[in-house]
Amino acid sequence: MVTTTQSSSSASAAAPAAAEEPKPPTTNTAPAPAPPKRSFRSFIWDTDTHLKPHAELVLLRKLDWSILSIGCLGFFLKYLDQGNLANAYVSGMQEDLAMHANEYTYAGTAYTCAYALMQMPSTLVIQRIRPSWWLAAMEVGWGAFTFAQAGLKSSAELYVFRFFVGFFESSFFPCLLYVLGSWYTKAELAKRVAIFHMTAPLGSAFGGYLQAAVYENLDGARGLAGWRWLYVVCGCMTVPVGLATFLLLPDTPYTTRAWFLTEAECELAVERVRKAGKAAPVRITPKTFVRILSRWRWYAFVLGYVLYGSACQASSYFGIWLKSEHYSVVDRNIIPTGTNLISAACVVLWGFLSDYTGSRFAFVVGPLTYGLIPNGILAVWPLSIQLKEFAFLTCGVQLMTAVFYTWANEVCAGDNEERALVISSMNGMQYAVAAWLPIVIFPQTMAPDFRYGFPATFGFVIAGIIVIIGIHFLVLREQRRATAPPDLEDFPANGEELEENESGVKGVVEMPKQ
């Protein structure tokens, strides 16, 4: 009986225990929320448009209307004013000023020397002075000296005026690139830099149409030759845009006082660039330059861009070749605009494709590789006029400047001062080389076949491709190192901690006992 009772008790005790055993977790069968549907705009504009909140889209619209409007207008006029020397030269200035031998080349060199002089300092200056103030003053300055060229009386005056035009124009391009890189993220930047840079060939093309129209309608008006009226018209266009720059350029996310941005939008802008990994500005000291120059980025990007820029010089001599073939003044101004229009279309195409695919390298090395064809044709200098014209026109296909600068902007995004110096040095060093290189390889005494110049540009294309491939592998190496798991040797052992000293070398220090 006792045994039976105990068995019953055990059975009754086991029942609740069995009931309390944990049940397997239930599977949540509710469907996961669907990702946001991609809008049509995300296919033709920013690929992440459908992921952005309304407030961010409003901010981007304001930035586009302000930065891109001022940037495109200013850069258009910069290239219009820069290129009007070539238009004026083939439209009567050569004869009126009795220019001979290499004086045209010397005038271009005076401009280029001044332009190169202020490239590198300019992006450092705007770390202390607001870009809107600095660029407005520079633009009004080059507009004033553009006006002054209408009264030229000699080649010596031309050298002086071109020097000051170059000096004041020099800040615009690198500073606008820096401002664009300060506001926009990786999915947004290349196409906007491309739109900004597209206005350069458009400005050059418009200069040809403008000079043709001025020559046809104003030549001799009020006693001024048509080429002098070109400088008057260009100056009238430049100065008002300079004044608008002061009012509309929003500086950078960390310094903006733009009247059209709300406080919430300013905070959102700062948060966006922080998430994108863009470093905030810091005080510039001698150690800043030591830090930058101890890395590979400055050297590689500057060398690559100098070679690329030197490879793009061939198309500048299109008009001189047309003159040697006895084309009319109007044709000499109109036909080379085809190269500029092709350049404008291609620079935008490469920028949009680069943003859409997320690849920078492919759309830097690809267009430059195509440059082997037109530069190779000109190096051979065939008898066929049509083949030479094809080569001059399609030199514009290799224009991928916007993607190249976007690449540099992104690779250096983690160091604001390095980004500023690399961008300005790329353009500055290229112009420094361009100050003397045309005198050596494109002397006017060798026109129009330039038996040294065109073979040299072909060689620059090859060298540029090699350097760009090298940059690509260096970037890949950095990315692998950044994503690789740390080695066990990098971890401190037994109460020790890695500490970095002032020279950047890590050492082990013993932690205090608890």
Sign of CA dihedral 351, 116, 153, 325: negative
Residue 173 corresponds to which amino acid? Answer: F
Question: For 133-159, what is each residue's pLDDT tens digit?
Answer: 999 999 999 999 998 988 888 888 999
pLDDT value of position 487: 61
Sign of CA dihedral 334, 339, 342, 344: negative
Task: Express as a percent the part of the chain with pLDDT over 90.
Answer: 53
CA–CA dist 496, 504 (Å, integer): 18
Residue with tokens 């948060």: 271
Of 8-22, 178-192, 213-227, the range with the highest mean pLDDT is 178-192
Query: For the chain, what percentages of helix, strand and coil (3-state, to nearest 5) are there?
Result: 75, 0, 25
Q: Which of 77, 86, 75, 136 is nearest to 111 (CA)?
A: 86
Cβ(511)–Cβ(498) below 8 Å? no
The DSSP symbol for 40 reads H
In the structure, what pLDDT confidence band is assigned to residue 27 with cuts at 50, 70 and 90?
Answer: low
Question: For 92-108, what is each residue's pLDDT tens digit?
Answer: 888 888 888 788 888 88
pLDDT value of position 376: 97
Residue 261, pLDDT > 90, answer yes
Mean pLDDT along residues 297-313: 97
CA–CA dist 439, 387 (Å, integer): 26
> How is 82-143 classified by DSSP, letter by letter?
HHHHHHHIIIIIHHHTT--TTHHHHHHHHHHHHHHHTHHHHHHHTTTS-HHHHHHHHHHHHH
Residue 71, pLDDT > 80, answer yes
In the structure, what pLDDT confidence band is assigned to residue 249 with cuts at 50, 70 and 90?
Answer: very high
Please give the helix or strand (H or E) that residue 508 lies within, else none: strand 506-510
Rg (CA), the chain: 30
CATH architecture of the domain with range 52-277+286-481 = Up-down Bundle (1.20)
What residues does each domain of the chain span?
Answer: 52-277+286-481
